[in-house]
């Protein structure tokens, strides 16, 4: 795993209270629910609102930050 990806998973692990292996597995399988299970209810509701609205999801995924994350995850 490259250094940037390792740091990203370590940060997410601390924030989501999940192991790095759980986060990587959820990313590989597209299991957003697995990543959201430890979020507070307000944050989980915001994420669910975005994911249930195709326009909001498209907008989020086209952001420079999301594109950088996608590129990082694709270069495994």
Mean pLDDT of 58-70: 89
Q: Which residues contact 57 (CB under 8 A, 6 or more apart)?
A: 50, 51
For the stretch 6-54, pLDDT in tens is: 888 888 888 888 898 888 888 888 888 888 888 888 888 998 898 899 9
Say if residue 75's pLDDT is above 60. yes
In this prediction, residues 55-69 reach a mean pLDDT of 90
Asked if residues 12 and 18 have their Cβ atoms less than 8 Å apart, the reply is yes
Q: Inter-axis angle of helices 54-61 and 64-74, to 10 degrees? A: 70
pLDDT tens, 50-60? 889 999 999 99
pLDDT score at 56: 93
Instruction: Look at residue 37 and give its three-state secondary structure.
Output: coil
């Amino acid at each position: 795993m490259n250094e940037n990806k390792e740091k990203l998973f370590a940060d997410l692990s601390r924030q989501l209270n999940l192991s790095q292996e759980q986060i990587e597995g959820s990313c590989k399988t597209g299991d957003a629910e697995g990543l959201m299970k430890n979020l507070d209810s307000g944050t989980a509701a915001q994420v669910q609102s975005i994911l249930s609205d195709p326009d909001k999801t498209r907008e989020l995924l086209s952001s420079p930050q999301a594109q950088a994350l996608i590129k990082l995850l694709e270069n495994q």
